[in-house]
Structure 1
Amino acid sequence: MSAHYYGLCQRHMGRAVEIRTLDGRIHRGIINRVTNNRVFLQPLGRRRGLGGFGYGGWGWGGFGAGIAFGAIASLAVLSLFFW
């Protein structure tokens, strides 16, 4: 299943997505970077530039929240009208 989400994330790089993880958490953001085992999201909305995630402005090392492919339960591409 991880290879499936890796391919989806690669195809939708730069697009707004909603990722639900196996523990029930929901992450919304723009796919900024994809590695072999993680996808990195730039957060959407008003909290975008406030730097709440740690080092590098709005995310770890400037890439945003990293989510492991093994933890992804579902991925949906968001339309522009959603946010």
Structure 2
Amino acid sequence: MAYHKYYHQTVRAVGRPVEIRTRRGTVHRGIIHRVTPHRLYIRPVSGNRGYGGFGYGYFGGYGWGGAAEAFAFGAITSIAFLAFFW
């Protein structure tokens, strides 16, 4: 898939949970935080707690893993949109 297709696919999905596989074989799960023409930023979700039942409005440590991680579209091999948290 061309990089511009990843961009157009993800720019409409800000706020949705995703699973990203990189060329190095690592898997990252999180919520799309921001998208630029060259990078995708996700908020990692720690552990298996998801949002802890508090929804989008609660950011007090239940599920958020810290600062957003940035991925170049060229390093991404696949993006899967998740219907729910693991």
Give the TM-score normalised by structure 1: 0.77
Q: Quick one: distance in 2 between partners of 1:76 and 1:48?
A: 19
Unaligned runs of 5+ in 2: 48-62
Question: Residues 67-82 of structure 1: matches in 2 within 5 Å?
Answer: 67-80=71-84, 82=85
- The CA RMSD measured in Å over matched residues stands at 1.4
Q: Quick one: distance in 1 between partners of 2:8 and 2:27?
A: 20
Q: Which has the larger radius of gyration?
A: 2
- Structure richer in helix, relative to its length: 1
Unaligned runs of 5+ in 1: 50-57
Size of the aligned set, in residue pairs, is 70
Per the alignment, residue 19 of structure 1 pairs with 20
Q: Quick one: distance in 2 between partners of 1:7 and 1:20?
A: 18
Following TM superposition, where does structure 1 have runs of at least 4 consecutive aligned residues deviating by more than 3 angstroms? none
* Residues 3-54 of structure 1: CA deviation (Å, up to 9, x unaligned): 01101111211000001011101110000000111000001134625xxxxx
Q: Quick one: distance in 2 between partners of 1:48 and 1:11?
A: 22
2:69 paired residue among 54, 65, 70: 65
Percent of aligned positions with the same letter in both sequences? 46
Give the TM-score normalised by structure 2: 0.74
